Amino acid sequence: MICRLLLLAVCVCSLSCVASAVEPAKFADATRAPYSSPPVKSRNGKSIADMKKKVEQLWDGIVFKKAGKAVEYVVTFSTDAGDFQVEMWSDVAPNHCRSFIALAQAGFYNGLIFHRVIPGFVIQGGCPSGTGSAGPGYCVKPEFNEKPHVRGVLSMARASQLDSAGSQFFVCVDAARSLDKKYTAFGKVLKGMEAVDKIVGAKRDRRDRPLEPFTIKSAKVKMKGKDK
């Protein structure tokens, strides 16, 4: 998962790693088995297996084009530091967007914490165990793209393996261009960066773990202009 070592860039991707805009793939084609076994239950009490099954059921119903027009999604995170809203970049990372939207719709993120905060860098959340070591029971294959990691950008955390992204995400609080084309950027904060700034300002230990972590109360999905 992302940490200070990201700045050392454990892997250097060739141009072949950079994805072009494509239609989202079927769940089985867009994902792979996780590198380690997920916990049986999330810290919010929900079964990881049940939530993965729900993601698979929701997957094909999440469309980014309808009647020839683009369908755009936003996800609003309600946290005890305030709310922030992110838009999805389905044109450059459709499979990551589908996974993220489906996880939010399944209630996966509700009750999880921001387990890592690094001022001048990122806030990170989405780990079902709250430790930074767990995921949703599957990994999403990379969709590295040309979007720069600047303030407000939403991107997926991963381990050293290029295809190990799962449910853990991070929001940049400043430019982090060393991550470009090595991590999948798939959205950006539209509103509420003040909440993100409050989260990153939490007191933390030497491992960048907040002493009193902020919690995601809910993650709600909407199509732009109407409820999803």
Q: Is residue 116 situated within a structural domain?
A: yes
Q: Is residue 82 situated within a structural domain?
A: yes
pLDDT band at 169, cuts 50/70/90? very high
pLDDT band at 15, cuts 50/70/90? very low
Q: Is residue 6 situated within a structural domain?
A: no
CA–CA separation, 6 vs 166, rounded Å?
17
Mean pLDDT of 197-224: 97
Q: Is residue 3 situated within a structural domain?
A: no
Mean pLDDT of 171-179: 98
Give the C-alpha distances (Å, rounded to integers) separating 76 from 92, 93, 121, 141, 153: 20, 19, 21, 25, 14
Q: Is residue 11 situated within a structural domain?
A: no
CATH of the domain at 55: 2.40.100.10
Mean pLDDT of 13-29: 64
CA–CA separation, 111 vs 214, rounded Å?
10
Count of alpha carbons within 13 angstroms of residue 15, beta-carbon side: 0
pLDDT band at 137, cuts 50/70/90? very high
**Domain of 79, in residue numbers:** 27-227
Q: Is residue 4 situated within a structural domain?
A: no
Domain count, the chain: 1
pLDDT band at 20, cuts 50/70/90? very low
**Position 8 pLDDT exceeds 60:** no
Q: How many CB atoms lie within 10 A of CB 133?
A: 15
* Mean pLDDT (the chain, rounded): 91
**Position 90 pLDDT exceeds 90:** yes
How confident is the model at residue 22, as a pLDDT? 60
Give the C-alpha distances (Å, rounded to integers) separating 71 from 185, 186, 222, 223: 19, 15, 10, 7
Query: Do residues 85 and 78 lie in contact, with contact meaning Cβ atoms separated by under 8 Å?
Result: no
Query: Do residues 75 and 88 lie in contact, with contact meaning Cβ atoms separated by under 8 Å?
Result: yes
**Position 195 pLDDT exceeds 70:** yes
pLDDT band at 24, cuts 50/70/90? confident
How confident is the model at residue 28, as a pLDDT? 97
**Position 10 pLDDT exceeds 80:** no
**In percent, how much of the chain has pLDDT > 70?**
89
Place of tokens 């996800």: 75
Query: Do residues 106 and 138 lie in contact, with contact meaning Cβ atoms separated by under 8 Å?
Result: no
Mean pLDDT of 64-91: 96
Mean pLDDT of 28-50: 96
CA–CA separation, 188 vs 210, rounded Å?
23
Q: Give pTM, 2 decimals.
A: 0.90
Q: Is residue 21 situated within a structural domain?
A: no
Mean pLDDT of 187-205: 98
**Position 43 pLDDT exceeds 80:** yes
Q: Is residue 18 situated within a structural domain?
A: no
